[in-house]
Each structure stands twice: as structure tokens, then as C-alpha cells.
Amino acid sequence: MTEIETPSGRVAGRVVDDDTSTVHEFTGIRYGLPPVGPLRLRPPVAVPPWTGVVDATSTPPRSIQPATMLAPAGDPEEEDCLALNVWTPDPSGSLPVMVWMHGGSFTSGSGSIAWYQGARLARRGVVVVTINYRLGALGFLDLAALGGDDWAGCANVGLQDQTLALTWVRDHIAAFGGDPARVTIFGESAGAMSVSTHLAVPASSGLFRRVIAQSGAAGHVQDTESGRRAATRALDLLGVGPSTLARLADLPTAAFRDVTNTMQNEDPDRDVPLPFRPTVDGSVLPVAPLDALASGAASHIDLLAGTNRDEMNLFRLMALLDGAAPDLEDTRLLRRLDRALARLGRHAGAETALAAYRAHHPDAGNGDLWAAVSTDTVFRMPMLAMLDAHVTGGGSAWSYHFTHASSGFGGALGASHAVEIPFVFDNLGQPGTEMMLGDVTPERQRFAADVADRWATFATADDLTDGTPGWTVPGTDEAWPAYEPDRRAQVRLDVDAAVIEAHQDDLRELWLGA
């Protein structure tokens, strides 16, 4: 056991040893009061100081959510989910801090998934924190738009949970050996969308200095009208009207799980199900994050962002395993392209877009072509747009393109969505990794160690200019080049990492213009 005195009271964790070093682990520390009853769907409230010693050795319950691959049925879940985990190699130190926000389409996941176990990353001289936050209908309804003064501030409460967790880090992390002035927030998928959205959340300003966005970007938000429609639909399913919102406090928890599940599955043609996501509400999130970045609102924040080569292969494989049709007819593929082009505001024809993708993937069937298109429209193009906006606003940015392919599932995943996570945490030995990646070879283990080193260096280095020790292309002494709109340099992350420039720029111009 190991005990630490924090500003709020004592916590008792455990010591995790390996052959080389010791890490102190604290799990299930509550940072917010249970958001139930009168606090349900309301902004979070910090846990007050306590007496005695809090046991921080158990896994906290995840947020209420439908059963998924990330949240198997039967695992503990509660509305009382506002908790976090801490791994520190030196409670007496003053180390950089890395705060992880999990993915899961804003409807599933938790900070305690085995892949996010932080001990191996912490051994690189950082304090690692993973958090839970409210999800789905309990975390991302814009009730401020419908409920009048009584519900002012009740939008984006999941984002507000994240801000409260970052505030807890500012106020408590020094007790765990962390430096609150050197915080990097990082996340994948909806977690990446979250951390990059915090670049535009005023209440989060000053709570971090760097951001790593893996397969998610700041553009994945909705406007107030879209948020109003989503909230109206959820209330309709719950049987509650704008004049009777007080009834929400007394509804059974299962009702919110059911609404989340229903709305997530209402549009089978949607690329990635995001019925719940941050809303530009004018208060918690005053302006669209891309506009905030372009105006220089986060110019003092360093940003690392990237995507995986075959993001959508994961979702395609999941659909195939669920019995979906293995391919698309030409007419349906063109219809989907038309919708995507209209959504992104481009005026190129669907036939032109299809020809461009066929040129890059001459042997692909329609299903694989659509996976390539939606990899770009859902993940890569929003990431590039975010990087361009941040640099335009005077910020510094770096980028990667992850191409290391899984050999699991007969190679069907390729370098799919989420494949990079166990490499980032150097967690190839965790449960489920071998099923996802295939054989865990010595080469892969070396690659994982290198990727985790780079992520830790990003959080640790005093600056990230050329020549910074450790801030290099993995496996080389070549400096990691900064991202600039006229060059768009990225590091291709694989066992043979290299610098690439203006990757598939013709496809970028198709969606984003010159």
C-alpha cells in the first residue's frame, strides 16, 4: 500500500513493481459528487474535502451506457461515475502530467479499460491520469436551449465533467508528484474530439499546455439548432416535455441508457454514430472550435494530431461480423458520396470523387472504397482542417500518420481505428491486444516503446523546436518537423518511420479546397 496526503484528504493506493522501477497506482478517486437526483443533467460539483483515508485501489464504475465492445454487459456502471485514476513514478517529484480522455463515440467507454493502464507510460517520467465522464443522454443533451433560466448552463455537462477533472488535476496533482503547470491532455476518437474541443472552452483555459488528438478533431461539434433537435428527440423518447424537465431527476437510469441506444442506431447510413456530441451553446462552448483556433484563441498551446491509415476498417469489420452486406452497389456508393460532399460544402461531383479514390485504390471493391472515403471525411480531413486552423491562428503543431497494420482478423483491420492505442501506452501485454493486433512480436514491442517514448517526450520537453532531445522521428535522429500549411509534413508511424509531406494532397483538395 501507499498513502498520499492531498489538499482534500488522504488516499491509499497500491505499488506496482516490475523488474526496473516502481509506480504508485491510485484508482477510483472521486473528483465530482454523484450526478444523481437534483444533480442529474446538471453541471458537476466538486467533491468536498474528507476525513480519514479514501481507498483508491478499486476500479471505478463506468458511466451509464449501452453494452458494446468497450462496455461488455454486466460490468459495473453507475451514474456515480465521476472518478479518475493516477499513476506516478515519484510522488515526491515535480513531473509532467498526461491526462487521458477515453473514446467511444461519446456514448461508451471508460478510463479504466486495460489498454489505458498507465503504469508503463508513467515509467517514462510522467504522471498519468485517466478519467471517467458522463456519456450519451446523461452527458450531452443541450437542455439549456429548452429549459429557460432554470436550466441555464446545463449543456455539455460531459465536457464540464472533463473540465472539473482538469481542475482537480491542477489542485491535487502536486501531491502525486505532478507539475500542474506542465499538463498535456490526450485522447483518441471521442476523447480526441474532447481534448481538441477544450482548446475553445473558456473554463478549461490555463489547465493544460499541450494537446494530443488521436483520430479525432475539434470540428466534431454541432450547432445550437442541431443540439436542440437532439435534445428534443431525447425528451420525446423519455416522455418529458420542455415544461416538465424537473421529471428527469426521477426517471430510472435505464431510461437514459435506452435513449442513448435508440438514438445511436436511428440512422444506419451514418458514417460514425455521433448522436451525442459537444454543442456550440454560446456559454460552455461559446464559438465553434475551428473558428476559435483560427482566431488565435489557443496559439499558446502545442498540438500533436494524427489519424490511422485505415480508420474505418474497424467499423466495417464490426458491421460484417454483425451480418451486414459485404459490399455496396454503385448507386448507393454514389449517393453516399453525394451526401458527404454536400455535408463538407464541396461542389465536386460524386463521379469525380469516386474516380479520384479509384485511382488511389485501383483494386478495391465499393465497400473498401467507402471505407477509404469515410476514413478521410470522418477522421483525416477534420484533423487537417484543425491543424491548418491552429497554425493559422499562430499555434505550433505536429502531425503523424499511423500505418502499422494489424495482422489480426486475417489482416482485415489494417491500420484501423484504435490500433495505435496499445502502442501509445506501451501496453502490448494487456488483455485483448493480441486479438486486435495479431502476434505481439519483439519488433512490435520495440515499436511500441518508441511510440510511447515520443508521446512522453511531447509532454516532457521544455520546448519542441528542432534539435530538442528525444523529439525525433521514431527510430532516427531526424527532428520531428513542425506542421505547416504549405508543407503539411507528417511522420509516418510504423516500424520503419519516415517523414511524408502533402500526403494525398489531391484528396485533401477534393474535400477541403486548396
Q: How far is CA 294 from CA 285, 291, 386, in A?
A: 15, 5, 9
Pairing of strands 127-131, 95-101: parallel
Render 161-224 in DSSP notation, one character per residue: HHHHHHHHHHHHGGGGTEEEEEEEEEEETHHHHHHHHGGG-GGGTTS-SEEEEES--TT--B-H
Q: Which of 105, 172, 417, 420 is catalytic?
A: 417
Question: What is the SS3 assignment for 2-43?
Answer: EEEEECCEEEEEEEEECCCCEEEEEEEEECECCCCHHHCCCC
Residue with cell 442541431: 226
78 labelled catalytic: no
From 189, 215, 406, 416, active-site residue: 189
- Count of beta carbons in the 10 Å neighbourhood of residue 321: 10
**Gap between the Cα atoms of 146 and 138, Å rounded:** 15
**Cβ neighbours of 365 (radius 10 Å):** 13
Is 172 noted as a catalytic residue in this protein?
Answer: no
Cα(385)–Cα(374) distance, rounded to whole angstroms?
15
DSSP string, 279-296: B--SSSS-S-HHHHHHTT
Q: How far is CA 328 from CA 264, 331, 344, 448, in A?
A: 22, 8, 22, 36
Query: Whole-angstrom Cα distance, residue 193 to residue 101?
Result: 9
> DSSP label at 498?
E
Degrees to nearest 5, angle at CA 509 with 385 and 374 = 70
Active site annotation includes 417: yes
Cα–Cα distance for residue pair 367/332, rounded to 1 Å: 10
Give Cβ neighbours of residue 219 (< 8 Å, ≥ 6 apart): 288, 289, 290, 382, 385, 386
Q: How far apart are CA 456 and CA 195, in angstroms?
A: 17
List 77, 79, 188, 311, catalytic entry: 311
Q: Which residues are catalytic?
A: 189, 311, 417
